[in-house]
Amino acid sequence: MRENLDHSFDTASVHPERTLRRDAEENRERILHAAKILFAERGLGVTLDDIGHHAGLGVATVYRRFPNKVALVEALFEQRVIELIDVARAALAFTDAWEGFLFLMKGILTLEAEDRGLREVILGSECIKGRLDDLKAEVAPLIEELISKAQAQGALRQDFRANDVPVLTAMAGAAQEYCGIISPGIWKRYVAIVIDGLKVDRSTCTPLPQEALDQNQLHQAMLGWRTHRLSKGHD
Amino acid sequence: MRENLDHSFDTASVHPERTLRRDAEENRERILHAAKILFAERGLGVTLDDIGHHAGLGVATVYRRFPNKVALVEALFEQRVIELIDVARAALAFTDAWEGFLFLMKGILTLEAEDRGLREVILGSECIKGRLDDLKAEVAPLIEELISKAQAQGALRQDFRANDVPVLTAMAGAAQEYCGIISPGIWKRYVAIVIDGLKVDRSTCTPLPQEALDQNQLHQAMLGWRTHRLSKGHD
DNA sequence: ACCTATACGGAGATATCTCCTCCGATTAGT
DNA sequence: ACTAATCGGAGGAGATATCTCCGTATAGGT
């Protein structure tokens, strides 16, 4: 199955470089813009149908530009993973390694906590075997080096590891997914707690940068947190 | 729609208390046992079909005992939520409130990190309007009281709130969902970091109770972490 | 040992979702 | 104004989940 049955459809995937008509080019931008917003908000699970409508376009237009969702994801997230690499490089440039480490964590977690799609690209591995994986691989060694430096300077607890970083990302992401809609930026509160737990110099408690949810907000978060529907939509 | 069209099926829901035949009663236990395992492992999303087969039974048998998934969930998790309440009560009995707080966090997080279904029951709110919600409501005041005590004794940071507990639960759960299959109990590592971040007495670093994932394990975790399938099951 | 109320299994009806394509209508650009 | 490129939305194909029908099997009293 899936032979070359491309009769006039799918021209983009056959001649991907032919210049587009002006309207088409503009619509391509619209699609990327909508996709960026929706992936960030709802993760890679959004349908191309959703993205199309959010861009004010039909579904077919999306599929004409991007043969499938993976192509769109790669087109979008290559840039964002490069941003991660840049953050890690910049963090290494600090002379005070603890400051660098803070910069790194803040940078990585800001990018990833606030973009669910990016988080899923970084934390997952499925279906993405191409350029994105190569880019992802570049981040780890930088983090490792920075952690070594911060530990050598005695600022970061010795038993912390580079491989803890993705897990912390997942955790910050969970906080964000749980109550980010109710209180954007709440993840910073929990990251601040974690950072305090990573610091060797334990003379101070960093004040938490955000208020906790109040009772009503927590209730809202619980209502909004849909994991799996339990029963049919019934009355 | 959905009137009483119960013709001979669904007898259980009409006369729920009639004693079951011995084989039926045994099978009911099997179902509960299988459900406990599967809900803990994969969350409330598992189908009753799955549970039936895991119990070595047909699907219909499950639906004959429990009219729908919600009924099964309530039958199962009432007991577990009561365990949570018991933990909170026991924690309040400590005279050293920080010890009590540690006991509480360890207890709650052990129960919830290692049972994805319980976590979803506690963190979510949808579809469960009955007894389970009432029980859940009993936990919060106990936690609040304990936190006040620990803060009054100067052991717990002042800006920590009872409403932070569910969020920390979500975070520990995320760590567990990300790499629990690779390294069960890894969530304790991250909880230990968080606890260090909550402590006012900052003279010591609690040694982390578990090793971080190594490179290979992290890779496995990434492979196993399925968020949303990106493309059709294709070849 | 027999008989009947009770229970069992698994195929499949129904519903929902997502991915992706067809084709008639519309528009850019020379 | 003409034509090639583009658009939009309905809908087919395929997964997946919930719940039911009905033919078959069995527990347990007599």
Q: Are residues A45 and A159 in the same domain?
A: no
Q: How many structural domains does chain A have?
A: 2
Rounded to whole angstroms, how far apart are CA atoms A116 and A221?
Answer: 17
SS3 call for B106: helix
Q: Are residues B2 and B105 in the same domain?
A: no
Distance of CA B26 to the CA centre of its chain: 25
Average pLDDT over residues A164-185: 97
In a domain, A27, yes or no: yes
A231 CB near a chain B CB, below 8 Å? Answer: yes
Kindly list the protein residues whose beta carbon lies within 7 Å of any strand C atom: A 5, 7, 9-10, 21-23, 45, 47-49, 59-60, 63, 67-69, 232-233; B 11, 18, 20-21, 23-24, 27, 49, 52, 56-61, 64-65, 231-232
Write the pLDDT tens digit of every residue in B180-229.
999 999 999 999 999 999 999 888 888 999 999 999 999 999 998 876 66
B213 CB near a chain A CB, below 8 Å? Answer: yes
Q: By the 8 A CB rule, do B176 and B115 touch?
A: no
A198 CB near a chain B CB, below 8 Å? Answer: yes
Q: Are residues A145 and A185 in the same domain?
A: yes
> What pLDDT shows up at residue A11?
40
In a domain, B112, yes or no: yes
Mean pLDDT computed over every residue of chain A? 89
| Chain B interface test: which of A169, A187, A218 (most B C-beta within 10 Å) | A218
Q: Are residues A174 and A101 in the same domain?
A: yes
- A44, A163, A186: residue with CB nearest B212: A163
Q: Are residues A91 and A178 in the same domain?
A: yes
Interfacial A residues in 109-148 facing B (CB < 8 Å): 120, 123-128
Average pLDDT over residues A124-153: 89
| pTM attached to this predicted model | 0.91
pLDDT of residue A7 exceeding 90: no
For the residues of A140-168, what is the DSSP string, one character each? HHHHHHHHHHHHHTT-B-TT--TTHHHHH
Q: Confidence class of residue B2 from pLDDT cuts 50, 70 and 90?
A: very low
Give the least confident one: A94-98, A108-112, B219-223: B219-223
Q: Are residues A156 and A63 in the same domain?
A: no
pLDDT of residue A94 exceeding 60: yes
**Helices and strands (H and E) in chain B: how many:** 11, 0
Phi, psi at B203, each rounded to 5°: -80, -20
Q: Are residues A139 and A213 in the same domain?
A: yes
Q: By the 8 A CB rule, do A187 and A113 touch?
A: yes
Q: Between chains, do A193 and B190 touch, taking CB under 8 Å as contact?
A: no
Average pLDDT over residues B152-167: 97
Interfacial A residues in 69-108 facing B (CB < 8 Å): 69-70, 73
Interfacial B residues in 168-197 facing A (CB < 8 Å): 168, 170-175, 177-179, 186, 189-190, 192-197
Instruction: Compare all CA atoms of chain B with the CA of A42 and give the residue at the minimum distance.
Output: B228
B227 CA to D7 C1', in Å? 32
Q: Are residues B63 and B91 in the same domain?
A: no
Which residues in B lie closer than 8 A to residue A157 (C-beta atoms)?
Answer: 205
Nucleotide nearest to B56 (CA to C1'): C9
Which residues in B lie closer than 8 A to residue A202 (C-beta atoms)?
Answer: 202-205
For the residues of B46-72, what is the DSSP string, one character each? S-HHHHHHHTT--HHHHHHHSSSHHHH
Q: Between chains, do A170 and B163 touch, taking CB under 8 Å as contact?
A: no
| Chain B interface test: which of A188, A202, A210, A232 (most B C-beta within 10 Å) | A202
Nucleotide nearest to A48 (CA to C1'): C19
> What pLDDT shows up at residue B127?
54
Write the pLDDT tens digit of every residue in A44-59.
999 999 999 999 999 9
Write the pLDDT tens digit of every residue in B79-90.
999 999 999 999
Domain end among B16, B33, B67: B67
pLDDT of residue B233 exceeding 50: no
**DSSP for residue B156:** B
CATH number at residue A124: 1.10.357
Quickly list H helices, chain A: 11-14, 22-42, 48-54, 59-65, 69-93, 97-113, 116-123, 131-152, 164-179, 187-198, 215-224
CATH number at residue B16: 1.10.10.60
A37 CB near a chain B CB, below 8 Å? Answer: no
Q: Between chains, do B213 and A163 touch, taking CB under 8 Å as contact?
A: yes
| Chain A interface test: which of B1, B215, B230 (most A C-beta within 10 Å) | B230
Q: Are residues B117 and B181 in the same domain?
A: yes
**Residue range of the domain that includes B101:** 77-231
Q: Are residues A94 and A40 in the same domain?
A: no
**DSSP for residue B202:** -
Instruction: Compare all CA atoms of chain A with the CA of B194 and give the residue at the minimum distance.
Output: A194
pLDDT of residue A214 exceeding 90: yes
Q: Are residues A25 and A84 in the same domain?
A: no
pLDDT of residue A190 exceeding 60: yes
Q: Confidence class of residue A92 from pLDDT cuts 50, 70 and 90?
A: very high
Q: Are residues B122 and B209 in the same domain?
A: yes
Token pair 């499925």 is at which residue?
Answer: A126
B42 CA to C24 C1', in Å? 47
> What pLDDT shows up at residue B95?
97
Give B85 to chain A, closest Cα distance, Å.
19
In a domain, A72, yes or no: no
Token pair 């931008």 is at which residue?
Answer: A29
Long-range interactions of A89-94: CB distance < 8 A, separation 24+? A89/A142, A91/A142, A91/A146, A92/A142, A92/A145, A92/A146, A92/A149
Rounded to whole angstroms, how far apart are CA atoms A38 and A34?
Answer: 6
